[in-house]
Amino acid sequence: MAIVLTESAAKHVKAHVAKHELGEGGLRLGVRTSGCSGLAYTVDYSSDVRDGDQVFEQHGVRVLVDRKSLPFLEGMEVDYVREGLNQRFDFRNPNVKDACGCGESFSV
């Protein structure tokens, strides 16, 4: 199973990578222990593939996920949405069993 990146998310990542001259960089996704539900997403841009990374490529964009985070993120769809003046990545993760009220953390 893979991490799915929508065209909207890919377009946003491509623009950011080009603007910050990250070469063949991509979107680095992971999880960390946090919040009242246990886990929170980590999102960063990266220009390098690390040992143990799983690399997914869609729409000409690389998504990098470390080995420890992959079981929590596998099958997730990442979208980029704009709502009025707000814009953000939107994560549709089939592994999530519960989330905190503020939406900051989740559990699997």
CATH number at residue 58: 2.60.300.12
pTM: 0.87
For residue 81, the model assigns a pLDDT of 96
Structure tokens at 37: 């539900």
Percent of the chain with pLDDT over 70: 93
Domain around 40: 4-107
pLDDT tens figures, 19-51? 988 888 899 999 998 867 688 999 999 988 899
- How many separate domains does the chain show? 1
For residue 42, the model assigns a pLDDT of 94
